[in-house]
Each structure stands twice: as C-alpha cells, then as structure tokens.
Structure 1
C-alpha cells in the first residue's frame, strides 16, 4: 500500500510538535496554579513565614526581617545576623518600607552625597545588616499610628480623655442602669420562676 505524501512526519516535525504541546501544557498548568514569576532579588529585605504557627494567636510571619543573599530558581537563601536559612520562595514575603526612624526624608545628614538609605533608590541590605536595623520594634508600631515625617507623640504629652457623663459613673452602677444591670437581661425559664436568684 502506497503512503500518501504529507501524512508521514519527519523526526524534526515530531520533536517540534512535542515541544509545542509541552509548552501549551506548562502554560495551562501555570495559569491553573496561578504561578507568577519570582519577584525576590539579592539584597531585598523579606519576612519569613512561621514554620509552625502553633495557635491562631500567632502571626503569619515572624517578626524579624531577613536579607536575601542568594536566589537559585525557587530556592532563596536569607540571613539575619549569624543565621542562614534556605527555603522555598513561597515562605517569604518582600518587606516594602523601612522602620519609621529611617523614613524621615529631611534627616540625611549621616549619609554622604549620592548614598541612599535602604528602602530608597540604590539602597542595599548590607547597609541595614551593618547598622543592625533588621529587627522590627517600636519604630514600626509608631509608623502604623502616625504619618511618615510626623513626630511620634510621647504618652506624657497626650491628654487623658475624661469619661463621658453617665456612661460608667458610680451613680449609674448603683442605680442599676446601663450595661451593669444584669437582672434586666437575666430571664429565667418558666419552671424556675419561683426560685430566688441572688
């Protein structure tokens, strides 16, 4: 039986077809898994996930910041002080920003001309590792409550708010009005109506 021309594929055509099919399959699986290109580079400051959260009261990420020192595919090596950890890229999240004491734009007296702080253009993680500022602390708590560039108020400077009239006063508690009146909210079942509650 004679073969029809064009139906027999050469070896090269079969290889190209297989490569195209593999590429289509990989693209479909990446879309299904919502894969993204990696976004961590050497010198970035990242937060690492808690390995064993333990309870619902712990945070998703550890409190310390780590500096990325090596990236190989999906494996990322980070350092914090003397600790070196290698994990999958999914265990890290890039930290955008610096502690509040280093975000003041007007205070660049300790930096030379052309040198930038980390978190700004041209900054490096080595600068932060050398200065020992890779621990989250009071600066970040202040950063959340104030706007960048504004001073953090001392607790002594903030006036204490006076309680509202009649809200939690002693007279309200004694009279049984307000949220302290438990008897008004307590309803007994019908079978226990003859009992006296104290």
Structure 2
C-alpha cells in the first residue's frame, strides 16, 4: 500500500476526482454509482470509465447512512452443501449482481434457529432477506425482520407488508413430468426423493404418487 508518511495510507480517489475526470458533476457521479435513473448512456459510460481508470471505490458505509440502503441482499441457506440448494444460491447471486446488489450468505448450524442467521444478516446491513428452501423441523417457522423477507417455499410465517412466500409448484411439476413419462409407454416411473423434511421434496413425492395412482 502506498503511503504519504510513516505508516499513513494514501487516500484513494474520491468522487470529486471522478467527476473532474469524466467532466460531470459530483451529483451525476453519485447517480451512476448508486444505479439511479435519469443519466444518459453516454454519460454513464464516461463516468464508469473514469471510475475504472482511477480505481475509485465508493464508501459503502457512508452511502448506506446517507441513502438508508446497502445495495446488499442477505440469503439464509439451510442446505448449501446439497446440489439443488447450491445451484439456487448461485442463481440468486448472479441475479443480484446483474442489478447491482451484493450477496451476503448466512448458513444455519445444526439445531440453530433460523432467526439467528437472520439477525446476523441484519447486523451486517442488508436491504432484504431471502430464505432459501425452508425445511419442516416440527414447529412453525416465524421470521421477524425490519426489512422485506422472501421465502422460497412454504412452512414460513413472515411479517406483514413487503414480505412474501413464493416458490414453484413442485406437486404439479412432478405430476406433469410423471404423466409425460407414462405417456411415452413406460409401465412405471421411479422417483429419487430429496430429504423428507424439505417441503419442496415432499411436494414432488406427492405429485409423483398422484400421477401413478391416476394411471
């Protein structure tokens, strides 16, 4: 690291230097860095080029205090070592990066309440939380957070307002897939299920069984 004196790090380029290099105002630089609209593509490209050439790094902590948002989404994973959840996490991370958000992951240890992972993400500073693939541990899962929460599956109770429970219909999907294979002339269809305490895995088993029973 370059220094300006004994043990003193050199301050990196600020928004003023970026604005001067790009020939725009500091407000325009702020809009580009924060992904705000009302900036022409030509000006945005000029600012981003200056950011890259100067090696400018936004002060995320200061920006969060000023704007009240972190541009970071937290994800609680209950099974990242398994293939399905791990591919879901990768897709979530890519989707967040495409819209200019960073990705913070919190896993749950065996026997640890999900709320502990949620609190850890809130302490880091996130604009929202995604709960990946909830499981049934025998008790209703109730989450409390002062940011929007999206659960990718059932069995979760979240706060009112901007929170939601979403997910694909595994029951219907498994039934359609099984019906399709049967229609090709197969006498039966075998199914390798996921963990028995995963809501999504249960739905797929139900859809498979319903299709076989109907046939």
* TM-score, length basis structure 2: 0.22
* TM-score, length basis structure 1: 0.24
| Higher gyration radius (CA) | 1
